[in-house]
Amino acid sequence: MKKVAVIMGSDSDLNVVEKALSTLSGLDIPFEAHVYSAHRTPEQARAFAQSARGAGFGVILAAAGKAAHLAGALAANTTLPVIGIPVKSSALEGLDALLSTVQMPAGIPVATVAIDGAVNAALLAAEILSIEDAQLASRLEALREADTAATLRKDAAVMDKFNH
């Protein structure tokens, strides 16, 4: 199976990024996590993106806050799918990172999830990899069914408590 690269702009993004890592682990998807910054280590970020396809990666997740150029900078240097995770890490509550990540010019796509949306970023990466992996597709189906069952249990609990 192709690996998922999980790149974060700073280790201060880890509290958000760890949700993506645990989601990938739960689906038995191999991944590598790195701290590369579009601003502080631009050469390392570029080199990683340029070599990612050859190194066996299938999708890149990029989490960054503030003026969040990481996802776009990685996408500029690879044709692998890049999923941006805007991180809430500043006085602007993540809106700065959301707009910096999502507003890409035509030609360099970044699929952007919600602010701090690390779980969905990992699930979207899994869905992309599942196109060529029937076993992973089955694991995704099972996860969706478990989520549905958990929500139905919540409905039953609310009905039991309030509907008389």
Min separation Cβ 130 and ligand RP5, Å: 28
**Pick from 77, 143, 69, 155: nearest CA to 112:** 69
Residue number, 29 or 73, with CB nearest to ligand RP5:
73
> Taking CB under 6 A as the rule, does residue 148 contact ligand RP5?
no
Q: What is the DSSP letter of 94?
A: T
Interface residues for ligand RP5 in 58-87 (CB under 6 A)?
64-66, 87
CA–CA separation, 162 and 102 (whole Å)? 41
CA–CA separation, 96 and 92 (whole Å)? 6
- Torsional sign, CA 17, 22, 27, 32: positive
Choose, by CB under 6 A, the member of 1, 32, 37, 80 that binds ligand RP5.
Answer: 37
Choose, by CB under 6 A, the member of 3, 5, 6, 10 that binds ligand RP5.
Answer: 10
Q: Which residues bind ligand RP5 (CB under 6 A)?
A: 9-10, 12-13, 37, 64-66, 87, 89
